[in-house]
């Protein structure tokens, strides 16, 4: 049986055992089983790793694009980009196709390069972790999560405006407003405009203003240069430009002119 090339242990993920419950008494008793699930990531060179063990080598792999065990060159190039990133200058279409076996089954031709690139970036830029978490929340419409994150980060982040308007170098330099529009999240859109735009409070629709005020977060002091509406992704598009491509969803807001500086 193959072993992980990093830790030299079997290619399984051992789960924390839950206590068994006695059906008659309802009392917990120690589990006698040692539950585990497959965790086998096979690289193109044939070397095997645990998923996390390989990600722990991300900084080296992202720069060399070589197997950390046998040093074989890993990528292949295909038509179309594998990952959009300004962090690492990998050629367009670069991918590292792997075979991953876990509790869900076998995934053939899984491109591991985006995950390696992301982990390498976050290792070099740990301060980006909460900002990227905010982007995920904006894309999912998790307004409550955004508010909680801002409250938790308020004391530790010196520039909240830069935090809220963070542009992701691994994601086409999009910010939360871009992602809110792409994912049809209107509540996220209004919260971001409330936080980081120069739109007068009186210009917000009543329902949008009520939602923003109910969160208890105040508006950030921004000028025209730092207004989130003016930020462009790596293709030069503002959030309003993306909304123009989705008239069915955003036409009513575009008509107000509030998405444009």
What pLDDT, on the 0 to 100 scale, is given for residue 207? 87
What pLDDT, on the 0 to 100 scale, is given for residue 158? 84
CB atoms closer than 10 angstroms to residue 153: 16
Q: Which residues does the chain have with pLDDT short of 70?
A: 17-34, 77-92, 154
What pLDDT, on the 0 to 100 scale, is given for residue 234? 95
> Residue ranges per domain, the chain?
12-121, 126-254
What pLDDT, on the 0 to 100 scale, is given for residue 92? 61
What pLDDT, on the 0 to 100 scale, is given for residue 214? 81
What pLDDT, on the 0 to 100 scale, is given for residue 79? 41
- Alpha-carbon gap, residue 169 to 102, rounded angstroms: 30
- pTM for the full predicted model: 0.76
- Alpha-carbon gap, residue 54 to 26, rounded angstroms: 42
- Alpha-carbon gap, residue 20 to 26, rounded angstroms: 9
CB atoms closer than 10 angstroms to residue 46: 12
- Alpha-carbon gap, residue 151 to 93, rounded angstroms: 40
Beta-strand ranges (E) seen in 50-192 are 76-77, 94-95, 97-102, 105-111
């Amino acid at each position: 049986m193959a072993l992980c090339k990093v830790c030299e242990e079997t290619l399984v993920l051992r789960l924390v055992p839950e206590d068994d419950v006695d059906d008659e008494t309802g009392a917990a008793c120690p589990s006698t089983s040692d539950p585990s699930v497959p965790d086998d990531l096979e690289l193109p060179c044939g070397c095997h790793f645990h998923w996390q063990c390989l990600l722990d080598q991300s900084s080296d792999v992202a720069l060399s694009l070589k197997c950390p065990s046998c040093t074989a060159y890993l990528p292949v190039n295909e038509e179309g980009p594998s990952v959009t990133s300004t962090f690492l200058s990998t050629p367009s279409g670069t991918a590292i196709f792997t075979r991953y076996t876990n509790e869900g089954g076998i995934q053939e031709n899984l491109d591991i390069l985006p995950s390696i690139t992301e982990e390498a970036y976050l290792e070099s830029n740990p301060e980006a972790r909460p900002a990227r978490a905010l982007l995920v929340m904006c894309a999912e419409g998790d307004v409550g999560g955004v508010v909680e994150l801002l409250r938790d980060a308020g004391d530790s982040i010196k520039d909240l405006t830069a935090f809220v308007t963070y542009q992701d170098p691994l994601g086409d330099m999009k910010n939360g407003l871009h992602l809110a529009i792409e994912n049809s999240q209107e509540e996220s859109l209004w919260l971001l405009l409330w936080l980081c735009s120069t739109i007068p409070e009186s210009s917000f629709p009543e329902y949008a203003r009520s939602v923003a005020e109910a969160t208890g977060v105040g508006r950030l002091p921004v000028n025209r240069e730092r207004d989130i509406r003016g930020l462009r992704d790596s293709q030069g598009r503002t959030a309003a430009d993306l909304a123009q491509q989705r008239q069915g969803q955003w036409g009513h807001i575009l008509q107000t002119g509030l998405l444009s500086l």
